[in-house]
Chains A and B, each alone.
Chain A
Amino acid sequence: MDNGAAMTADPIRSRFADDPEMREIVAFFVAEVPNRLHELRQAWSSGDRVRVRTIAHQMKGAAGGYGFGEIGESAARLEAALARADRASTPSNDARGAFESFVSLLARVTEAG
């Protein structure tokens, strides 16, 4: 796995990890994260901005509900940066930065913590 520097950073744990009604679906959400990461990186490197934006949008809506507020906010910043880049129709460092911080946050997501 190519998690790079993120491997060494602190793991991020769901705010609801200890909530009995949430435990099972949080685990499910976390288990899906590697797939999302893979998809994101692939879409980014192939220049598929639309796909990146869709994933960011979905994460923005869902992550907070699963107790990963920080991820949700980062996803919102990425979505907004991509929207700005679209309007400017130029590749932006802004969007790249937002993408990288989103991806490195996602890579720190863990179930147990």
Chain B
Amino acid sequence: MGNGVFEPATPKLLVIDDSEPIHRLLRVRLQHERIEILSAQSASEGLRMAREMHPEVVLLDIEMDEMDGFEVLSRLKTDPETQQIAVIFISATGDTMDRVRGLDLGAVDFISKPFEVVELRARVRSALRMQHLFRMLEQKAQIDGLSGLWNRRYFEQRLQQEVSEAIRHKQPVSLLMCDLDRFKRINDQYGHPFGDTVIERMAQILSSGRTSDIACRYGGEEFGVILPNTGVAEASEVAERHRAAIESQAWPVSGDLVVTASFGVCDLESVQGPPSQEALVACADAALYRAKERGRNCVQRFGREAATQRKGPGG
């Protein structure tokens, strides 16, 4: 499933130090930790690797020839790509002012050379733990509490990313917008707790599709699913499966309640004007609006007047 909280693979530790014996020593001393060690022999190489490899933690030497560690740290902290990396200074200088300056610039810790092996390992572990919690929190802030799906903020950010990827690699990308039909009536008739149950179930259905699909709660009873590398025909099939799944769902309430949803589908190729995530959302929304107009419980493709997916038995 593309939506669960991900467990990062082996965390990466980048060592930036211009002394080869230090790299060799650290590789040996940290070999039993569950980390991948990357080595940069200079400040500029370190900055480049930090951007490209996204390490969780950087061990940074203060005194380097080309650029000192303070400068490297402030560059890491001003680049959005690297500012969340936990930086530990390593230095042979016992100077208190160096430590203060490093911590003030945003370093999380300070290790003195020569290393006390046990202390070195403990400090690296502690930084990794903190980084893990930080990433979990960051991810939590992008997850909708009720549905467990990505929230709107994430949706917008991710859609922008997927649209640029699609343009760059000349690949399709589709967007599916979906809205539960007559949801207000469900809430009024069965109460809000039941309404929440419906939202939760809908979220499960939308996220139980293909692993590459990114299901988000757009707001209220509206959902958006990003389908990378997928054309509109395939996206319509995905939407149709979701539509059929919610329609056939049995509910723990008296009577034969049938909950349905309407779907609007669009791919980047079909949008009017220059391709962008705003245009894609607008077009998928327009298709969704038409699905509502056509009696709900159906899938509509943007820009295709006649072609409607079949309606369910009740629709």
Are the C-beta atoms of A62 and B63 separated by less than 8 Å?
no
Whether B24 pairs with A28 at a CB distance below 8 angstroms is: yes
Would you call B67 an interface residue if the criterion is a C-beta within 8 Å of the partner chain's C-beta atoms? Answer: no
* Set of chain A residues within 8 Å of B29, measured between Cβ atoms: 21, 65
Scoring B61, B65, B113 by chain A CB atoms within 10 A of each residue's CB, the highest score goes to B113
**B115: Cβ under 8 A from any A Cβ:** yes
Mark A52-73 against chain B: 1 for CB-CB distance below 8 A, else 0: 0010011011111110010010
28 A-B pairs whose Cβ atoms sit less than 8 Å apart in the complex: A21-B29, A21-B31, A22-B28, A24-B28, A25-B24, A25-B25, A29-B21, A29-B24, A32-B21, A57-B63, A57-B92, A58-B21, A60-B92, A60-B113, A61-B19, A61-B61, A61-B91, A61-B113, A62-B19, A62-B113, A63-B114, A64-B113, A64-B115, A65-B22, A65-B113, A65-B114, A65-B115, A76-B92
Question: A25 with B28: in contact, given A61-B22, A61-B92 (CB under 8 Å)?
Answer: yes
CA distance A24 to B91 in the complex (A): 24
List residues of chain A with CB within 8 A of the CB of B65.
Answer: 54
Q: Report whether over half of chain A's contact residues are helix, strand or loop; otherwise say mixed.
A: helix
For chain B, the bracket of interface size reads 10 to 19
Q: Which of A25, A57, A61 contacts B114 (CB 8 A)?
A: A61
Please count the residue pairs between chain A and chain B whose beta carbons lie under 8 angstroms apart in the complex: 48
On chain A, the number of residues with a Cβ less than 8 Å from chain B's Cβ atoms is 20
A62 touching B25, Cβ below 8 Å: yes
Within the assembled complex, what's the spacing in Å between the Cα atoms of A69 and B63?
20
Structural contact, A58 and B28, CB atoms closer than 8 A: no
Taking the nearest CB of chain A, how far is it from the CB of B167, in angstroms? 48
List the A side residues contacting B28 at CB < 8 Å: 21-22, 24-25
Residues on B with C-beta less than 8 A from A58 are 19, 21
Provide the residues of chain A in CB contact with B61, threshold 8 Å: 61
Query: Which residues of chain A come closer than 8 Å to B115, judged between CB atoms?
Result: 64-65
- Considering the complex of A and B, which 9 residue pairs feature the smallest CB-CB distances, nearest first? A64-B114, A61-B92, A61-B113, A62-B21, A65-B114, A65-B25, A60-B92, A58-B19, A25-B24
